[in-house]
Amino acid sequence: MGLSMSGGLARTYQVYGVHVRSQILLSLIEATGHAAPDVELVVGSPEFFATALQGASLVEIESGWYSIAYLPDGSTYVLWEDLFHFLVSADGHRVVCGDLGPSAAESFHTYLLGQALSFALIKKGFEPLHATCVAVHGHGVAFLGRSGYGKSSIAACFLAAGHRLLTDDLLVCRPSPEGLMVQPGPHRIKLFPEVADLFLDAGWRGIPMNPSTEKQVIPLGPSRPVSRPCLCAAFMSWATRTRIPRLRRSN
């Protein structure tokens, strides 16, 4: 199951520039010091979700990819049918998590940290972007576009060229005197197998994101990601989806 518990002792992690305190074991860097958590992750029982959703009306988003309900107390419920569901409090401080069937931990973490957590960040005043960002000579280069436009595939090209990943799929920036600083995300990337074969090291291992797609969630080794914020030097946006020739790796 995706909800691997931390043995009753909640742990505090740092991701996207915020502190996340979690009952669930996450593949993230644990925070140092004693900073108060910005977001708390807890596990909800089926009974909890059933009670919270009494009278709620679900609305399908993006052709049924997921459903959402806005509850009277200001909280937001997000559902991926047969996979996972989450209830985000009105102030974004608390995310109640539940899985709806067998799932790998990396798959659950992807939906939690790349999707559900974005609702909490918005409620807390952040403006997360649907984007992937790589570090090129110490500066961030971000790729924006809708799902399926190739953001992660382009990032994989940069990884093959020796650059490093800052974040995949969810990007949070914070202002600084120097400019916008991109906050590092989880140390993983989502790719189709044929793209991973082209641009990642031989023997890469991934976990299917969900049963209806071939896309893999691929944890990255310590040399691939960046763990500190980087100044963003450029944003590149794809306004439309364009068919490109089949990629081939050059020698």
- At 1 the three-state DSSP class reads coil
Distance (Å, whole) CA 107 – CA 218: 10
Per-residue pLDDT of the chain (251 residues; tens, 9 = 90+): 456 555 557 899 999 999 999 999 898 888 887 778 999 999 999 999 999 999 899 999 876 689 999 999 999 999 999 999 999 999 999 999 999 988 788 889 999 999 999 999 999 999 999 999 999 999 999 999 888 888 999 999 999 999 999 999 999 999 999 999 999 999 999 999 999 999 998 889 999 988 888 999 999 987 778 889 999 999 998 766 655 445 455 54
- Burial code (b: 16+ CB inside 10 Å, e: under 16) for 193-215 equals eebbebbbeeebebbbbbeeeeb
For 156-168, give the DSSP string: HHHHHTT-EEEES
Q: Where are the alpha helices (DSSP H) in the chain?
A: 46-52, 105-111, 117-123, 151-160, 193-199
Q: How far is CA 111 from CA 34, 71, 79, 98, 201, in A?
A: 27, 21, 10, 11, 25
Which residue matches tokens 């800052």? 166
Domain boundaries, the chain: 11-123, 131-237
pTM, two decimals, is 0.87
